[in-house]
Structure 1
Amino acid sequence: MDRSSLEELLTPINSASDPTSYSVRVAVLLDGERPEASDWHVAEWRTVDGVHHAALLVGPGGAVELGPGAYRVWAEITAPPEKPVVASPRFSID
């Protein structure tokens, strides 16, 4: 992804059941960092080819503006009594 691009960042979520009735938040951080309370952003659900994704608009004017580097997305799903947090594979911003 180019740093000047404004687009939806989709993070696939593997789940045994449809998670879209639960709230989801996303943090996008440099690889090696863990999310703090202020890093979380409310995300939306998207389903692409039957796979559920947490979606967040990133780039200039989006929820998060990213500079060059290696990043990881963290997704937090509130599914009482559980609240799983999953990390994506690394991706790069040019």
Structure 2
Amino acid sequence: MTLFDPANKNRSERHRRIYAAYELGYTLVDFSAALLFLVGSVLFFYPSVETTAIWFFVIGSAAFGLKPTIRLIRELHYVRIGDLDDLEAASKR
């Protein structure tokens, strides 16, 4: 199995479930990061909450860093289960 091959998500029903779960997490992180940046941007209009705005940007940046991490973990999850699914499919032939 090759890492980051788009066909990996369709290798089995288990792969499809894993893909869906990780995509949900990825999307939640993506929306969270965007929301944090939007709120942080608005807060910069008010000097009294500038420190809070900075923290929103820092946390939003960390969320953006989570996105590729989620994708890598999903691919490693595929690799971890890949051999077992291949063996199971071979045993049914």
Same fold (TM over 0.5): no
TM-score (norm: length of structure 2): 0.21
Pick the structure with greater CA Rg.
Answer: 2
More helix by share: 2
